[in-house]
């Protein structure tokens, strides 16, 4: 199995809703840690599903739909 570096899926620059770069090192570090943890959990879920005999494509769609269905946490 290949290992992916976080640079495979993270943007070069994170932007706020106005399009300005987010530059706070602590915020960027926390965001990267959260996304890496999420990636690891999704990878484990995919592997478990395939080992249990589930279709890989269907499982990937379920994971994508799960992310697409996340609710915006705060109204602005």
Residue 8 pLDDT: 78
Please say if the pLDDT value at position 2 is more than 60. no
* 21-53: pLDDT as tens digits: 999 999 999 999 999 999 999 999 999 999 999
* Residue given tokens 């999420």 in the structure block: 38
- Predicted model pTM: 0.78
Closest C-alpha to 33, from 10, 54, 49: 10
């Amino acid at each position: 199995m290949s290992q992916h570096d976080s640079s495979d899926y993270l943007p070069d620059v994170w932007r706020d809703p106005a399009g300005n770069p987010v530059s706070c090192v602590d915020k960027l570090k926390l965001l990267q840690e959260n996304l890496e943890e999420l990636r690891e959990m999704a990878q484990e879920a995919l592997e478990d599903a395939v080992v249990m005999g589930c279709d890989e494509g269907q499982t990937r769609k379920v994971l994508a739909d799960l992310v697409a269905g996340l609710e915006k946490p705060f109204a602005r």
